[in-house]
Amino acid sequence: MSAATPWTVASVRAALLAKKISARELATEFYGRIERHNPELNAFLTLSPERAYAQADRIDASVARGENLPPLAGVPMAIKDVISTRGVRTTCASKILENYLPAYDATAVERLERAGAVLLGKTNCDEFAMGGSNENSAYGPVHNPVALDRVPGGSSGGSAAAVAAGLAVAALGTDTGGSIRQPCSFCGIPGLMPTYGRVSRYGLVAFASSLDKIGPLAGNVADAAMIMSVIAGHDENDSTSAAVDVPDYSSETQRPIQGLRIGVPEDYFAEGIDPEVKEKVQSGIALLERLGCKRIPLHMPHTDFATAVYYVLATAEASSNLARYDGVRYGLRVPGSTLTEMYRNTRERGFGAEVKRRIMLGTYVLSSGYYDAYYLRAQSVRTLIARDFTDGFKKADVIVTPTAPTAAFRLGEKTADPLQMYLADIYTVTGSLAGVPGISVPCGKNKAGLPIGMQIFGPHFAEGRVLQVARAFEESRSSES
């Protein structure tokens, strides 16, 4: 959208140190872009200029005193609206939290600010992160900056659109079944789903607790790595955050990739994939081979069952997690003559169609008489899907697949049939269920000019290797084109 070279973490730092621009001027520039382009994109739901300028002024004072700058000093960023920000409205793109002001910051947000990032505001998404097109937002869909009549993907569609359109240098998103990777594929930027437990979920509004992850969306892989180094690591406020040391992802990302074994599962190129997506991802894999990687054919036999498993487990967890929206402690309350009637009225009015559908499905699969047939069976098949990955990583260092079966579809194209929308998650939900890290990195465009993403999975806690392959790929692609 902007013809000028896009800002990066590194270029912001260099410009601040050279005193070519102040952090306040940079924030002003980004708010100007948002003012101009957000009306057509609908990527931001809430702006936080007071907080952003206060932070920018702290950075500028630091520059003036000649102090060492923290790693993300002055970098204008956006935060998906399912992540809590103290005193800054956090709606989860739902009417039920329309005026909700969190009393505390998510750990990831606190760490970004401590690292100097300037938080511009909160980005639109599917309601409670449930969806793959951003059409489930109670505040209207986001439009894809590449083609305004197309969806940006979802659920982190606002974060992806904001970064792709240059309204933020980078953003935080969340990924439960593909919600970072798929919108990044549709908008043409890289985005990483970390290992389950790598980034604290404290302050992330829960959707499906065994699947939810916070991760970065950025203009380039190096920026995603910088952000990961800041947000990753154990947090005593989240007992599911891993007590595993955090490497310096930026230096890991610089390593050469010669000799790495690239696993390519045939199951991800079967029926249902758009021929242009298949061709671009295959060319991407061929490029990795030219860079010295070895291609290893894989078979991951349970891939075809992943969507069914995902929609049992994710909805079951959601039906439980969303029980808290009852009109008592926060958010919307619709009165009723009894307590139960108040709950029912509040939830009927406050939740949108997709959220209600998932609560119904999740309640059904957990209800008496169906628990073993659905929930427990899905948990068992989840074990088999995770085993497909464990077996794959015995033969390969990373596993490369398409991110999504198609490029961005048109707004309204898939809203009539929820099952068809769910089936489009097939390539992302597998890794989500296994808990392994995965990145989507742009691998070209189709004839209509729409971006296509290639997905790179790594073993648990091997974000560094995933980023390393993605960076080498990004670098060679830009030098070849």
DSSP of 168-236, one letter per residue? -SEEEEEESSSTTHHHHHHHT--EEEPPTTSB--TTBPPS-TTT-EEEEEESSHHHHHHHHHHHBS--T
CB-wise, 227 or 365, nearer to another protein? 365
How far apart are the C-alpha atoms of 10 and 91, rounded to whole Å? 32
How far apart are the C-alpha atoms of 376 and 374, rounded to whole Å? 6
Query: Measured from the CB of residue 61, what is the shortest distance to another protein in angstroms?
Result: 27
Residues contacting residue 360 through CB under 8 Å, at least 6 positions apart: 319
DSSP-assigned beta bridge partners for residue 217? 171, 191
CB-wise, 29 or 98, nearer to another protein? 98
CB-wise, 223 or 463, nearer to another protein? 463
CB-wise, 148 or 371, nearer to another protein? 371
Query: Measured from the CB of residue 351, what is the shortest distance to another protein in angstroms?
Result: 8
Token pair 């359109």 is found at 165
Query: Measured from the CB of residue 373, what is the shortest distance to another protein in angstroms?
Result: 8
Q: Assign residue 31 a region: left if phi > 0, alpha if psi is -120 to 50, beta otherwise? A: alpha
> Closest Cα to residue 375, out of 427, 301, 319, 303?
319
Outline where 117-213 has alpha helix (H): 157-164, 181-187
> Closest Cα to residue 467, out of 248, 282, 198?
248
Query: Measured from the CB of residue 214, what is the shortest distance to another protein in angstroms?
Result: 15
Taken as a whole, the chain contains a residue count of: 481
Residue 210 known to be catalytic: no
Q: Crossing angle, helix 306-321 and helix 377-395, to 10 degrees?
A: 120
How far apart are the C-alpha atoms of 12 and 219, rounded to whole Å? 13
Query: Measured from the CB of residue 326, what is the shortest distance to another protein in angstroms?
Result: 7
Catalytic residue among 62, 84, 155, 319: 155
Degrees to nearest 5, angle at CA 323 with 125 and 141: 15
- DSSP 8-state class, residue 43: -
Token pair 């060492």 is found at 68
3-state SS assignment for residue 241: coil
CB-wise, 270 or 323, nearer to another protein? 323
CB-wise, 143 or 460, nearer to another protein? 460
3-state SS assignment for residue 261: strand
Catalytic residue among 62, 179, 241, 250: 179
Query: Measured from the CB of residue 300, what is the shortest distance to another protein in angstroms?
Result: 14
How far apart are the C-alpha atoms of 160 and 155, rounded to whole Å? 9
Q: What are phi and psi of 398, to 5 degrees?
A: -140, 160
Residue 209 known to be catalytic: no
Residues contacting residue 243 through CB under 8 Å, at least 6 positions apart: 234
Distance set, CA 163 to CA 72, 188, 192, 323 (Å): 16, 10, 14, 33
479: cis peptide before it, omega within 30°? no
Query: Measured from the CB of residue 322, what is the shortest distance to another protein in angstroms?
Result: 9
Query: Measured from the CB of residue 424, what is the shortest distance to another protein in angstroms?
Result: 13
- DSSP 8-state class, residue 136: T
CB-wise, 8 or 84, nearer to another protein? 84
CB-wise, 345 or 476, nearer to another protein? 345
Residue 80 known to be catalytic: yes
How far apart are the C-alpha atoms of 379 and 113, rounded to whole Å? 38
Catalytic residue among 80, 213, 280, 414: 80
Q: Which positions are catalytic?
A: 80, 155, 179
